[in-house]
Amino acid sequence: MDTIEVTLSVPLLEHDRYIGVLSDWATGFQQTDSTLIAYVPVEEWSGALRERVAARLRADGYTDALEVRVLGERNWNAEWEASLTPVRVGPFLLCPTTGEEREDTEATVLRIDPKQSFGTGHHATTRLVLRLLAGTVASGDTVIDVGTGTGVLAIAAARLGASSVLGVDIEPGAVQNARENVAQNGVEDRVTIREGSIDTVPADRSADVIVANMTRHPLLELLPDLGRRLSGTGHLLLSGLLTSDRPDIREVLHELNFEIDGEHTEDGWWAVHCTRGA
């Protein structure tokens, strides 16, 4: 399937607003100090979307800042996997399942094969939530990972001492990928991967920690259900959000009686740690 490569010549500090414009259509982004590149399936691209992006660029004072080209069908995922290198995130060292580990005797190694799923540590949203997770999960905790992708967060929770972890994802390919990664990391005894969303979790089952790394729109729909599956003293960790999403998400969290215990940002992305209010 062909892909549209959309290149915006704008400085890094401006990227979050354009990621927000394209996030409902793009399957991935690449960032440099002076460009943002979005990859959009050809069937999702349209003249109306192009004009929307161009109009936003003009309004912000960026003329001749948009370049669009069609990329022929290639195994982009295989090429991307081949370029992956180990990433240190907090106590974790995330490594591809092929290739040599970087020597780091103090790190907890997580072996992750991304296939078509999200979550290798090379994106800020994964790094943000891994750091939150490392400071939250305690030995014996029960954890639910919603939108598990590669399963990296579920695996990390188990390696932090969680006694039971359930990862759910609506994409069958992600479920298979996550199960393979769970086996690769030897945590099958504590981590279960299930196809579906939070509604697959029994209503009477609560978790000490719920983590969700996903974009604004699905997260807003799921927040009430996430709250119902969280124990009274539990922790809710959210990532995958732009800094521009912060006011709306904070407002909804307040309406659901959550208190903000910690916030972190990186490269225009925002993650938050919440607990229930008194």
CATH of the domain at 214: 3.40.50.150
Backbone angles phi, psi at 17, to 5 degrees: -70, -35
* Within-domain flag for 185: yes
* Within-domain flag for 105: no
Beta bridge partners of 129: none
Range 210-230 average pLDDT:
92
* Within-domain flag for 83: no
Same domain, yes or no: 69 and 140: no
**Quick one: tokens of 110?**
């997580």
Same domain, yes or no: 35 and 170: no
Angle of helix 172-184 versus helix 152-159 axis, rounded to 10: 30
* Within-domain flag for 152: yes
Evaluate whether 43 touches 4 at the Cβ level (below 8 Å): no
Range 197-211 average pLDDT:
90
The DSSP code sequence of 108-168 is EEEE---TTSS-SS-SHHHHHHHHHHHTT--TT-EEEEES-TTSHHHHHHHHTT-SEEEEE
Range 52-69 average pLDDT:
93
Same domain, yes or no: 11 and 132: no
Mean pLDDT comparison of 19-23, 156-160, 203-207, highest-scoring range: 156-160
Evaluate whether 193 touches 148 at the Cβ level (below 8 Å): yes
pLDDT at 80: 47
Amino acid at 245: D
* Within-domain flag for 50: yes
Range 143-156 average pLDDT:
94
- Which string of b and e fits 46-58 if b means at least 16 CB within 10 Å? eeebeeebbebbe
pLDDT bucket at 121, cuts 50 / 70 / 90: low
Q: Which residues contact 241 (CB under 8 A, 6 or more apart)?
A: 125, 215, 216, 219, 249, 269, 270, 271, 272
Same domain, yes or no: 236 and 153: yes
Range 215-236 average pLDDT:
92
pTM: 0.73
Q: What is the pLDDT of residues 169-188, one digit of tens each?
A: 988 888 998 999 999 999 99
For the cut 90, the answer to whether the pLDDT of residue 126 exceeds it is no
pLDDT at 117: 46
pLDDT at 71: 82
Same domain, yes or no: 137 and 235: yes
CA distance 253 to 272: 10
pLDDT at 268: 78
Altogether, the residues listed in the chain come to a count of 278
* Within-domain flag for 107: no
Same domain, yes or no: 237 and 152: yes
* Within-domain flag for 240: yes
CA distance 207 to 157: 12
User: Which among 17, 41, 74 is the end of a domain?
Assistant: 74
**Structural domain boundaries enclosing 147:** 123-276
For the cut 70, the answer to whether the pLDDT of residue 38 exceeds it is yes
Specify the DSSP element, H or E, that contains 183: helix 172-184
For the chain, the domain total comes to 2
| Antiparallel, parallel or unpaired: β 207-213 and 258-266 | unpaired
Residue written as token pair 């296939």: 115
**Domain of 38: which CATH number?**
3.30.70.260
pLDDT bucket at 250, cuts 50 / 70 / 90: very high
Beta bridge partners of 32: none
List Cα–Cα distances, 231 to 117, 203, 227, in angstroms: 29, 12, 8
Q: Which residues contact 30 (CB under 8 A, 6 or more apart)?
A: 36, 37, 39
